[in-house]
Amino acid sequence: MFKQLVCCALLATLVQGTIFERPCRTDVSVVQDFQVEKYLGLWYDLEHYEASFEQNTDCVTAEYSLNQDGSIRVFNSAVRLTDGLLYAVDGLALVSYPEVEMLEAKLNVSFYGAPNDESNYWVLDTDYENYSLVWSCEPIGEERSLEYYWLLSRTPALPEDEELREKIDTLKEQNGIVDDELIITEHFAEGCNNKRHSLL
């Protein structure tokens, strides 16, 4: 999610994501003619690869809004399972390649004032209204990689739409997303309700 891919805890130097014994894919495509303003707003994390900054959390959301200078404010929050407290962090996102004629859905996301110099948030596909598939990969030598992946939704659960679910499953398969490595995020516990109330 505009959840860092570089940092500490919920982000600042490279944190531990999910390591694969394979190089980063070179055939991954992202959304073209990316509509930044349509992407803004609240997203719920439904599933993701394990990452240190999301361990022992549920009710994970990311909210994006425009800053006056045109950058994107990233507000990530979650409920810690250890104590039930709300954990939140502010970050910043910039379009990675703003000069290209057809804007690609690639962003540089950072937290805690870290430099925004790495394209680490790629939107593989989104309809802006229901779902977004987000991915990033960092090489570890020539044959290993550190990957991040999130399935985001505008609601705490995807709509009951078999065609949409099949589309997402196809996109995951096409992009090498491994179901065995996924962590499912809970959004219906009591703590989630308290969290949503506290953000109003």
87-102 residue pLDDT tens: 899 999 999 999 998 9
Assign domain 18-184 to a CATH class: mainly beta
Residue 108: predicted pLDDT: 96
Burial class (CB in 10 A: 0-12, 13-18, 19+), 8: middle
pLDDT above 90 covers what percent of the chain? 68
Q: How far is CA 191 from the centre of its chain?
A: 21
For residues 128-155, give the mean pLDDT: 95
Residue 145: predicted pLDDT: 93
Instruction: Name the amino acid, one letter, at 112.
Output: Y
Answer whether residue 103 shows pLDDT above 60: yes
User: Which 3 state secondary structure label does DSSP give 29?
Assistant: coil
* Distance from C-alpha of 18 to C-alpha of 14, rounded to nearest angstrom: 12
Tokens for 9?
A: 């805890």
Answer whether residue 130 shows pLDDT above 50: yes
pLDDT tens digit string along 4-28?
Answer: 333 333 333 344 679 999 999 888 9
* Distance from C-alpha of 63 to C-alpha of 41, rounded to nearest angstrom: 5
Residue 112: predicted pLDDT: 85
Instruction: Name the amino acid, one letter, at 53.
Output: F
Helix, strand, coil percentages in the chain from 3-state DSSP, rounded to 5: 15, 40, 45
For residues 94-122, give the mean pLDDT: 91
Residue 14: predicted pLDDT: 40
The reported pTM is 0.86
| Domain layout of the chain by residue ranges | 18-184
pLDDT tens digit string along 167-181?
Answer: 999 999 999 999 999
Residue 16: predicted pLDDT: 66
Q: How many CB atoms lie within 10 A of CB 80?
A: 15
